Structure 1
Amino acid sequence: MSAEDQQNLDPSKVVYETYKSEEQIGIMMKMIESELSEPYSIFTYRYFLNGWRELSYLAFYEGEMIGVVIGNLTKHKSQRLRGYVGMIVVKKQFRRLKLGRKLAQIFIDKCKELGADEVCLETECCNIAALKLYQSLGFAKVKKLMNYYLNGNDAYRLKLWFTDKVGREEIEYRQQEVLKKLQQQQEKENQAEKDQEINQEKKEQ
């Protein structure tokens, strides 16, 4: 597609549909693999698509599949209902239509409708455009995952909380965990100093 054709794309021609059948997986895989650096097996697609069909949305332009978002909705260990974005991909030549934002918002709205407390996702630390998009939708960085992807790149885990209460609980929990780790580290350092002093005293005797 030429630059001129991209400029003439009509957003009103984009159609969004939920995933319908196994016949769409092959087309979806081909599109996603051409856009992402991380490969996925057909079993990963089936896990999301067959388990959470209502959270799997496809974008079409004049019959051509140009974007997709798939994910799940499960109870987290905290007992909160968490939506998770497994993949969100848009063909490069159609990105000026801001389909990534639209697909993400569709997923978020559906999770809200189904009673989710939060939505979580990961993206590469170096993907500045994606980070800006998710943060503009209300997501916040909660964790850095070292060497998360097969290509060795690090990732950020981001979360969007649907209530202030859930967000506060999450932040307070993480603050407590950080303080706990700092306290444990300080105790180790104190013990190391004591051991060093004892060893020094033994040498001097």
Structure 2
Amino acid sequence: MELQERRQYTLRNAKEDDLERIMQINRATLPENYPYYVFSELLRDYGQAFFVAEIENDVIGYVMPRIEWGFSEVRQLPSLVKKGHVVSIAVLEPFRKNGIGTNLLKASMKGMRVAYGADEVYLEVRITNYPAISVYERLGFRRVKTLRHYYMDGEDAYLMARELNQNSLLELS
């Protein structure tokens, strides 16, 4: 399996043909699953920030966003902003710890900013998902608040957020 883990991967925008595979990855890696129409609508509406990672034409990871208007999670004074929401991100287990999730998230954040004009990005993460929290913090996310009993199994989540601006585009390259 180690040889497989080190093979080159590519990132690209997701396509409608990828949705079944994306859903398989979602079910295999995360307890939170969505029906087909959620994936399909988010791809249709935010496809320029919806990415997959693939090795030899096999999708092995994805990031699924949406763009919303709401109160800022990062600014001191209350203000309405356009923000990206990372709805779901996953990489199959054998391919983790190779930077794939990091690069999927970077590509999506760049798409959120460039294609949709998002001013910031946020996500929810299980408070026990230490590897993911570490990646998000390295990418400039900070813990904004704890969402009590956020997940179906009762586990809490951190809401994490960061700004997206011209300077952050340089960081994401």
TM range (shorter): 0.7 to 0.9
Residue 162 and residue 51 in structure 1: after superposition, are their counterparts in 2 closer, same or farther (change >3 A)? Answer: closer
Give 5+ residue unaligned stretches, structure 1. Answer: 164-205
How high is the TM-score relative to the length of structure 2?
0.84
1:75 aligns with 2:75: no
Q: Is the 8 A contact 1:37 1:151 kept in 2?
A: no
Name the structure 2 match of 1:93: 94
Q: Is the 8 A contact 1:38 1:151 kept in 2?
A: no
Moved segments of 4+, more than 4 Å: none
Name the structure 2 match of 1:137: 139
Aligned-partner Cα distance in 2 for 1:81–1:74: 6
Matches within 5 A, 1:134-173: 134-162=136-164
Letter in 2 for 1:113: V
Name the structure 2 match of 1:46: 40
Bigger Rg over Cα: 1
Letter in 1 for 2:3: D
Aligned-partner Cα distance in 1 for 2:164–2:156: 26
Letter in 2 for 1:108: M
Of residues 7, 12, 17 in structure 2, which corresponds to 1:17?
Answer: 12
Matched position secondary structure for 2:41: helix
Give 5+ residue unaligned stretches, structure 2. Answer: 72-78, 166-173
Measured after TM superposition, the shift of residue 16 of structure 1 is 1.1
Measured after TM superposition, the shift of residue 6 of structure 1 is 4.4
Name the structure 2 match of 1:107: 108
Aligned-partner Cα distance in 1 for 2:80–2:97: 38
Measured after TM superposition, the shift of residue 162 of structure 1 is 3.1
Instruction: Indicate the percent of aligned positions where both proteins have the same amino acid.
Output: 28
How high is the TM-score relative to the length of structure 1?
0.72
Q: Is the 8 A contact 1:71 1:83 kept in 2?
A: yes
Paired positions, count: 157
Measured after TM superposition, the shift of residue 126 of structure 1 is 0.4
1:37 aligns with 2:31: yes
